[in-house]
Every structure is written in structure tokens, then in C-alpha cells.
A and B are shown apart, each in its own frame.
Chain A
Amino acid sequence: MAFIELKQVSFFYPGKKEPVLNSVSHSFGKDGITAVVGPNGSGKTTLTKIMVGIVQPNSGEVFLDSLPLKKYSLAEIGRRIGYVFQNTSHQFFCATVAEEIGFGLKHLGKESEAVEEKVEFYLEYFELTAYRNVFPLRLSYGEKQRVAIAAVLANSPDYCILDEPTVGLDVYRKRLLENHLKKIVRLGSGLLIVSHDYNFVKRIADRVVRMENGQVQEGSG
């Protein structure tokens, strides 16, 4: 069954002739890992932003769990879909890495011990323990990437959208990420990954969706 469904969604930037998305219809299931691939500037990021309601399409509609996305507040969407921005600097707002990872849980009213435990786990897993009290924006690109992913995964959302998660990660960290993502999928979460990293996509994706000229083509994983 479709978890997120796009119905004839179009989007264009004001003043540009070519639409970024041209009447895209596609449904994304909640099972397994879907990868969205395509050339630079083909609208992959815009597509994901529309899927979480940060960007409103010019026409068409998005459904989340069969209900129009407009019916949800951003926070309601955020509790169901974890979103990792392409430019992770855009999603940091805490003074330290540890606070960043624990933010969502803390504000969902989780016990501080449970929050602490989760934060510890993610700090350790993504090898960020040394940076726990560092201001996130001071980190290197790859480190920021890991903090952003940890902060979103710590909320254990039903579904995750990761925009270019492997940029700036070395082979070893890619493996760490891959193993963890496979694990959360086994535990029942759905994943959508936007990536150019064909090796990573090949290893991890169950389905591949290609974007070109504002259109979506389904391929095989």
C-alpha cells in the first residue's frame, strides 16, 4: 500500500519556464529502501521537500497514509517522516551535538534517562562521542552529515527521507550507515534515499526511481 502518494504534482520556480517537476505521479510504499537517482538539478531534492510539506506544489496533491498532506501539521509530518536535508547545516539549531540528537525525543516528552541512552547509542554508533559538546556547525561536512542522520534516526520515525546521505562520508562510514539503515528497515521503517552514489544505491536499494526532465521513471533495483 502506498505510504506517500503524489498525484500529478507540478512545481516550477517563479520566473523559470521549465518546470522542476512536471505532473509527477508516483506512490512510495513503506516497505524497504527506495532510491531516487538522476542528474544534478533534475528535481530530486524538490521532490523530497514536497513529500514532507516544506515546499508546496503549484498543482497536484500529495497524500500521506491516504490523507492529503495539507491536513497534517509540519510537526505531525515530522513525527512520521524523518527528513535529512541535503545541506545539513540547514537543520541544526542546538548548541551541541548531543542536544541536537536528543532534541526530538526530549520534546516528545521522553524520560531524560531514555533520551540520554538513545543519544549515547547514536554518538557511539556514528563515532561522534568526541564531538558531543561541539557546536554542530563547526564540524566537517562528513561529521555534520552523521550528526544530522543520527538526530533524525533517534526519533525512530516510520519513514525516513535522506537527501544525499553519503556525500562527505568515507567508505567505512558509508558501511556504518548502510548497516544501520538496513537494520532499521528490518525493524519495519521505510526509507527513501536520494543519491548519486551508484555503488551505495546498488548495495542498499530495493527499488530505484529515476528522475529526468521533471519526470519519474521506475527502474528495477
Chain B
Amino acid sequence: MEAVAVKGLTYKYWPGGPLVLNGIDFNVSPGEIAAVTGLSGCGKSTLCLCVSGLINYNKGGVMTGELLVNGKDVRYLKTASLAREVGLVFQDPDTQLFSPTVEDEIAFAPENLCLPPGQIRERVDYLLDLLGIAALAEANPYNLSGGEKSLVALAAVLALDPQVLVIDEVMSPLDPDGKKRVASILDKLRAAGKSIIIVEHDLEAVAFADRLMVLNNGKSARFDRTEKVLADWDFLAAAGLIYDDEGLNNG
């Protein structure tokens, strides 16, 4: 069974509004990393919200098509229950950190899932170590630097141990070390059979993904093996994702 199966997905934020997603087909298998890229406003973040079911919050929105996560239709699951299946790391770390300490932030999800304290402790310590933020355990997330916040936000979602992980542009505020660390963590998760959807502007940052989807105006312009897409310079240039000349042609 595919971990994420999307068929003919369309979405508009209000009836009669423009189609932000316009007939998306894609699937992610267990143990696979799929990257999504495209210019700002192409519908990447909306796709993240759809897959994680959080789009249900937007009451006026209209969704058609099929969207199954682990065989379950996200439209009919309560957000909190869905969160056990899909973890979403939002783009803006400031709007997803609310605990008084980093440790509490990471413990929040397993506490809600009623894990025994010993197990929570294990998970928190493991994640603090995995993301290299053990020194910040007692710090207030609000006072951290931009990159550190992103790592904490990622750790807090990983604490859910979801089967499917959706990451909305977490790489860009990270320094090269942080990027490498996150890439190797995702590698580990892939080896453990998790499915990962990673949204990113920077093509270099997604080169380790198995497959790459290029979104354009709510449509999938290309969805193929990453190395194939990245080798197709003509296509990437036409999609406005790379430049081979100096400076921008203003026409």
C-alpha cells in the first residue's frame, strides 16, 4: 500500500476562488523521500496542508479528488487523530513553538499520546541528541536563533513518530552543518521505512530525495526520479528554477 496516494486533487480556498491545486496525482511509498519544488505561490504549502489534513481547518475550502494517507481518507479524520499518521513541520518556526522549554516542546506530543514517562524521556533524549540540540534542552524556544528554532520544530514533530513526515521548507534557515544533519536524519527515517515529503526552493537541498515533483500553478509539471529531473536543464530553466546566465533577463 502506498503511504500517500493522491489522485486528481484540486483545492480552492473559497468556493469560486482560483484553483490553488489543479489536478495533482502523486504517491509516496513507505521508505521513500519525495521532494516538491516550484516557484512561490505554486501551491507547495497548500499541498502540505492537504496531505497533513490540516486544511480541514479552513472551513470554506473546497477539495475534490482522492487523498489517502496510510489508506485513510484525511477528510474524515479528526486533525489530532490524523497527526498520528502524518507529522507536518511548518515553515515558520515561530508559530509552532509554544512550550516554556525545548525539552517540554519535544515532550508535548508523546505526552498527549499517553506514553509512559520513561519512554517519553528516552524519546526526548534521543531526539535532542539526534538533532544536536542537547545543550538547548532547558532553553526557552522563543529566545533561540532562527536555525535552532527550525531544528526544535523538527524534533517536536519527530517525537510523534509519524509514518508520514511532511516538511515545509525547513532547510533554508539552516547552516550547511544543519542541512547535512537534517538530510542524514531523513536518510535514517527512510531506512526505517518512513515516507517523507519535503518541500524546498533550493534544488541542491533536495538532491538526496528519491523522486522530485515540480509544481507549476497548482499542476504537477514533472514527477520523476530526482536525478533525471535535475539532469534536465532545459526543463528546469523553462520552469524558472535555474539560471545558466549571469543576471536576470528583464526582457
Q: A196-B173, A196-B175 are in contact. Are A41 and B147 (CB under 8 A)?
A: yes
Cβ-based interface call for B98 (8 A): no
The residue on B at minimum CB distance from A146 is B40
**Which A residues between 144 and 195 are near B, CB-CB below 8 angstroms?**
164, 166-173, 175-176, 178-179
The residue on A at minimum CB distance from B246 is A203
The residue on A at minimum CB distance from B250 is A179
Residue interface bits A98-114, CB-to-B below 8 A is 1, else 0: 00000000000000000
Q: B145 contacts A40, CB within 8 Å?
A: yes
Partner of A167, one of B151, B172, B241: B172
Instruction: Tell me the bound Cα distance from A167 to B204 in angstroms.
Output: 14
Contacts of B169 in A (CB 8 A): 141, 168
Q: A169-B40, A172-B240, A175-B243 are in contact. Are A41 and B144 (CB under 8 A)?
A: yes
Cβ-based interface call for A73 (8 A): no
CB distance from A87 to the nearest CB of B (A): 6
The residue on A at minimum CB distance from B248 is A175
Instruction: Tell me the bound Cα distance from A153 to B143 in angstroms.
Output: 28
Q: A40 contacts B248, CB within 8 Å?
A: no
Which has the most chain B C-beta neighbours within 10 Å: A41, A175, A179?
A41
Q: B146 contacts A172, CB within 8 Å?
A: no
Task: Give the dominant DSSP class at B's interface.
Answer: loop
Instruction: Tell me the bound Cα distance from A41 to B243 in angstroms.
Output: 31
Q: A179 contacts B91, CB within 8 Å?
A: no
Query: Interface size class for chain A?
Result: 20 to 34
Cβ-based interface call for B129 (8 A): no
Partner of B146, one of A86, A142, A166, A198: A86
Contacts of A41 in B (CB 8 A): 144-145, 147-148
Residue interface bits B167-182, CB-to-A below 8 A is 1, else 0: 0010011111110000
Q: B40 contacts A45, CB within 8 Å?
A: no
The residue on A at minimum CB distance from B146 is A86
CB distance from A185 to the nearest CB of B (A): 14
Q: A164 contacts B94, CB within 8 Å?
A: no
Cβ-based interface call for B217 (8 A): no
Cβ-based interface call for A60 (8 A): no
Cβ-based interface call for A8 (8 A): no
The residue on B at minimum CB distance from A163 is B146
Residue interface bits A36-54, CB-to-B below 8 A is 1, else 0: 0011110001000000000
Q: Identify the A interface with B (CB < 8 A).
A: 13, 38-41, 45, 86-87, 89, 140-143, 164, 166-173, 175-176, 178-179, 196-199
Other 18 A-B pairs with CB < 8 A, given A87-B94, A171-B243, A178-B248: A38-B175, A39-B178, A40-B173, A40-B174, A40-B177, A41-B144, A41-B145, A86-B146, A89-B92, A89-B94, A140-B45, A168-B40, A168-B91, A170-B38, A170-B241, A173-B40, A196-B147, A196-B174
